[in-house]
Structure 1
Amino acid sequence: MPGFSDRDRGRDRGYGGAPRFGGGGGGSRGGPPQGKFGNPGERLRKKHWNMDELPKFEKNFYQEHPDVTRRPPQEVENYLRSKEVTVKGRDCPKPMMKFHEANFPNYVMDVIAKQGWAEPTPIQAQGWPLALSGKDMVGIAQTGSGKTLAYLLPAIVHIQHQPFLEHGDGPICLVLAPTRELAQQVQQVAAEYGRASRLKSVCVYGGAPKGPQIRDLERGVEICIATPGRLIDFLEAGKTNLRRCTYLVLDEADRMLDMGFEPQIRKIVDQIRPDRQTLMWSATWPKEVRQLAEDFLKQYVQINVGALQLSANHNILQIVDVCNDGEKDDKLLRLLEEIMSEKENKTIIFTETKRRCDELTRRMRRDGWPAMGIHGDKSQQERDWVLNGMSEIYLFFCHGNVMDSFNATAVRFPCNNLTTELRDQNNPNRYPPCCVVNRSQK
């Protein structure tokens, strides 16, 4: 397709003189260090943008495929209804029901073909034409809906239409994620598609050495996937800037707000030009997320896939055995013996506390079970080691909060049975006390 050329990013030139894309970077170089107990982002000043001085940029690249144009309105309506997709907003393009209708570059289509996807997911089918049109959008969909590709593939097209990076430029696409695990999973997808398009990406998150991340940023990257805290650190230290950022993604916005990242998000967005394209993704649509959308997005279109409230997956059979505390361990052991007697079965057990996670892991390993455990108090190296070993381990203990950080579609291993032990009276989306839940695919 015209304009979707495979550009050689090795042509990026040296850079000198004043910044081309607005004022100074986020934070001052050589300034006084942030106090140990300072508020994150307190040294970042809100930018006052002069739109007349900012270079213009393209963000509408959508050309409706003839197959989409010829599709009758009734067929479109039936598709949206069958996929439980609702759209709110003006001038929303028709959905794309086949991959070729997106007119992605050949190198992107080659990767899609290698991965064996049959057709776009509902959020991709409706999200791609919106994102390629340069519109701001909110996508409400559950984990596993395919939202990562829904925003990354249009990001690649967006980047390929922008001027080459020069020395001192920050990223063109910024993806903010709530946790390092989610950021790493997005980075894996970005790297896979970026190799084909010769785009560079970096994952910026806490709990890992800053040096390699800084070096990647200073070499120049088109895509930056970051957790808010670490990105704030780098912006304040002048290690990167957001002058070139014209494509902003807020992934799992509801979780970022739940984790208290709203002040950091606002500080970061203040560093980005206001005529950017912004895409917000969330599993729920509470008033806090709605307010964030009103503040950051302009004339946005909202896509809902399924219900706005969290609900159980209807493709999973859930069996609840209510019991007393004293009975639970024996019931759990009998259930595990039944599950693990079948070849290739894998089990995940969620626990209420990190201590309980460690206790059960030690007990099971002592009794000869192939078990591993993971929770937030383990180091990043330990957590990566556990995740990398999931394909060979058949019993996996997890404190609930850390598993929330994982994109279920990115943890790829066969799991025929999922045994969940949860005790959380404060979260209505979780199971009540004293229950053992056996969840298996129907």
Structure 2
Amino acid sequence: MLFSELGLSEQLLRAVAEQGYQTPTPIQAQAIPVILQGRDVLAGAQTGTGKTAGFTLPLLHILQQQPIPQKPRPVRVLVLTPTRELAMQVYESVRTYGKHLPLFAEAIFGGVSINPQIQKIRRGTDIVVATPGRLLDLIQQQHLDLSRVEHFVLDEADRMLDMGFIRDIRKIIALLPEKRQNLLFSATYAPEISALAEQLLHDPVEIAVAKRNAAADTVSQLVYGIQREYKRELLAYLIGHGHWQQVLVFVRTKHGADRLCKQLIKDGIRCAALHGDKSQGARVRALDEFKTGAITALIATDIAARGLDIDQLPHVVNFDLPQVAEDYVHRIGRTGRAGAEGQAVSLVDPEEAHLLAAIEKLLKRQIPRVADTGYPRVSLESGNAKPVAARPKPQQTGRRAQPSGGKSEPGKRTSPRKPRRGNVSSAKPR
């Protein structure tokens, strides 16, 4: 199937072609026709499936076909996202595909001055992409009217619930007209999502383009069992020895992100930290530098990294395992996107054994372990999370570390030396 067969306008097809696309992804091929029909949609789609264009393209087409001459323009499409990064990405998608159309869009999120956003809203806009908190601020200050909204999109609904936005979402829904089209997108389906969908959607078309609560088949997953004190050293070695040019590293806390980034910089690895305490300017700059290759490693918390759109990201590392198993799927969904191959590496210490067990229960399979890491062996059996052997003698072999039941990985340590500061190529574990 081609985009030209989906019923989109000539202006939209031209914008799509200018981006180099001819064939829609599965989520786009399924979602675009039913959205054009005006149906409500419940879509199970993970990051990297093309879901954003799957709803922005048909909504732009509908607005184009049904113009409203009224000035200032009323808000006709409202897209809610959990984070400002995702809001900006949806907004950029609207701008990219709607550049040949006489339509206006605005992104509304916190962390920046509210006054410029107020001024833009007053001038009128067709589409608003927003995070719940800032949107409610504008509504409460009577700067934004949602009474003319015709299409409502709840993007990454599972993350919305994880972040505690359910009350805000319900407040916003109560302000919308009863007659509207509703689109709900979620990477995972917890019972709370099903309950929300039942309240929000009317006779929805259900679309699922990937196994629920599962990782993409194109992602190669590995676990390194290692004591926590050696994690940073192993990470530096994997990046340097493997000649990784781009890796997204997940940590559990903001402080942990800053600390790890400083340590990797001392190891000669260009990196930046991305978390909620960073200013919007700093976050945008870090992401731009990561995308252009100015930095090799982006150290991020789950909330900050949610919805990051990075084409062809080859490596994701779980420096800390997530507390919620579903977040593992979100994390590694950053790589192996749109059919491309990717690698997800988890550095798991004994105290995280129960988290690994929960992840594998969700995936319904065991993730391959790297049998010989060059470090003291640890048990990753939940409930028996203790080192099982003293530090072994360094092995002087050039063979690569072999994951049990998986592919060979660059990373067999040939020297017990500690990494020298500032030289990535020599960063080998002790």
Q: Does 1:192 align with 2:96?
A: yes
Residues 21-64 of structure 1 show CA distances to partners (whole Å, capped at 9, x for unaligned) of xxxxxxxxxxxxxxxxxxxxxxxxxxxxxxxxxxxxxxxxxxxx
Match of 1:91 in 2: none
Pick aligned residue for 2:80 from 176, 181, 193? 176
Moved more, 285-294 or 119-128: 285-294
Q: Does 1:399 align with 2:300?
A: yes
Q: Does 1:369 align with 2:272?
A: no
Moved more, 163-172 or 280-289: 163-172
Match of 1:331 in 2: 234
Contact 1:372 1:393 (8 Å CA) reproduced: no
1:330 to partner: Cα distance: 2.9
**Alpha-carbon distance in 1 for matches of 2:69, 2:141:** 21
Which structure ranks higher in relative contact order (CA pairs < 8 Å, sequence separation ≥ 6)?
A: 1
1:403 to partner: Cα distance: 4.5
Match of 2:122 in 1: 218
Q: 1:199 to 1:262 in 2, by over 3 A?
A: same
**Alpha-carbon distance in 2 for matches of 1:270, 1:416:** 42
Pick aligned residue for 1:137 from 37, 41, 45? 41
1:119 to partner: Cα distance: 1.0
Match of 1:233 in 2: 137
**Alpha-carbon distance in 2 for matches of 1:367, 1:320:** 23
1:429 to partner: Cα distance: 4.6
**Alpha-carbon distance in 2 for matches of 1:418, 1:147:** 21
**Alpha-carbon distance in 2 for matches of 1:219, 1:254:** 33
Q: Does 1:434 align with 2:349?
A: yes
Contact 2:224 2:347 (8 Å CA) reproduced: no
Q: Does 1:351 align with 2:251?
A: yes
1:402 to partner: Cα distance: 3.4
Q: 1:405 to 1:415 in 2, by over 3 A?
A: closer
Residues 84-140 of structure 1 show CA distances to partners (whole Å, capped at 9, x for unaligned) of xxxxxxxxxxxxx22111121111111111112231111111111110111111111
Match of 2:197 in 1: 293
SS at match of 2:107: strand
Identity %: 34
**Alpha-carbon distance in 1 for matches of 2:60, 2:87:** 17
Pick aligned residue for 1:282 from 186, 193, 197? 186
Q: 1:296 to 1:406 in 2, by over 3 A?
A: closer
Please tell me the residue identity of whatever aligns with 2:185: W
Matches within 5 A, 1:71-86: none
Contact 1:165 1:222 (8 Å CA) reproduced: no
Match of 1:30 in 2: none
Match of 2:282 in 1: 382
Q: 1:377 to 1:151 in 2, by over 3 A?
A: same
1:352 to partner: Cα distance: 2.7
Unaligned runs of 5+ residues in structure 1 are 1-96
**Alpha-carbon distance in 2 for matches of 1:313, 1:102:** 26
Please tell me the residue identity of whatever aligns with 2:153: V
1:280 to partner: Cα distance: 0.9
SS at match of 2:175: coil
Q: 1:277 to 1:375 in 2, by over 3 A?
A: same
Please tell me the residue identity of whatever aligns with 1:101: E
**CA RMSD between the two structures:** 2.5
**Alpha-carbon distance in 2 for matches of 1:211, 1:429:** 35
1:425 to partner: Cα distance: 4.5
1:204 to partner: Cα distance: 0.4
1:333 to partner: Cα distance: 2.7
Q: 1:186 to 1:225 in 2, by over 3 A?
A: same
Q: Does 1:102 align with 2:1?
A: no
**Alpha-carbon distance in 1 for matches of 2:327, 2:60:** 35
SS at match of 1:139: strand
Match of 2:321 in 1: 423
Match of 2:156 in 1: 252
**Alpha-carbon distance in 2 for matches of 1:296, 1:402:** 25
1:301 to partner: Cα distance: 1.4
Q: 1:434 to 1:208 in 2, by over 3 A?
A: same
Match of 1:147 in 2: 51
1:432 to partner: Cα distance: 7.3
Q: Does 1:316 align with 2:219?
A: yes
Q: Does 1:265 align with 2:169?
A: yes
Unaligned runs of 5+ residues in structure 2 are 329-345, 351-368, 371-402, 410-430
**Alpha-carbon distance in 2 for matches of 1:165, 1:217:** 17
Please tell me the residue identity of whatever aligns with 2:125: V
Moved more, 160-169 or 430-439: 430-439
The count of aligned residue pairs is 339
Matches within 5 A, 1:49-128: 97-128=1-32
Please tell me the residue identity of whatever aligns with 2:321: R
Residues 226-272 of structure 1 show CA distances to partners (whole Å, capped at 9, x for unaligned) of 11111111111110101221111111111111111111111111121
SS at match of 2:100: helix
**Alpha-carbon distance in 1 for matches of 2:118, 2:257:** 35
Please tell me the residue identity of whatever aligns with 1:296: L
SS at match of 1:302: strand
SS at match of 1:195: coil
1:163 to partner: Cα distance: 4.5
SS at match of 1:149: helix
